[in-house]
Amino acid sequence: MCPFTISTNHRPLCDITCDSDGIVDKFVDLHDVKQVLELHALNPDEPYYLAFLLVGAYQEVMGNNHNLFGAPHEAHIHIDDEGFLIKKVIKGTTVGGAAERARYERTFLHDGFRRLISRRVKDGELSEAGAAEVTQFYESRYEAYTYLAVNGVKTRSRRKTDY
Taking only the tens place, the pLDDT of each residue in 40-73 is 777 888 888 777 665 555 555 555 666 677 888 8
- pLDDT attached to residue 22: 63
**Average pLDDT over the chain, rounded to an integer:** 77
For residues 116 and 150, the model is more confident at 116
DSSP state of 137: H
Is residue 30 included in any domain, yes or no?
yes
Tell me if 15 is assigned to some domain. Answer: yes
pLDDT score of 113: 96
The predicted structure's pLDDT at residue 161: 44
11 lies in some domain = yes
CA distances from 117 to 104, 131, 143 (A): 19, 6, 21
The residue segments making up the domain with residue 17 are 1-50
Q: Is 140 inside any structural domain?
A: no
Q: How far is the C-alpha of 106 from the C-alpha of 104, rounded, in Å?
A: 7
More confident of the two residues 35 and 22: 35
Residue 57 lies in a domain: no
Residues with Cβ within 8 Å of residue 93, at least 6 apart in sequence: 63, 69, 70, 71, 72, 101, 145, 146
What local confidence, expressed as pLDDT, does residue 125 receive? 95
Q: Which residue has the higher pLDDT, 5 or 132?
A: 132
Domain-located, residue 94: no
Q: Please report whether residue 40 resides in a domain.
A: yes
Q: What is the total count of domains within the chain?
A: 1
Q: Is 14 inside a domain boundary?
A: yes
131: exposed, middle or buried (C-beta count within 10 Å: 0-12, 13-18, 19+)?
A: middle
Q: What average pLDDT does this structure show over 108-116?
A: 96
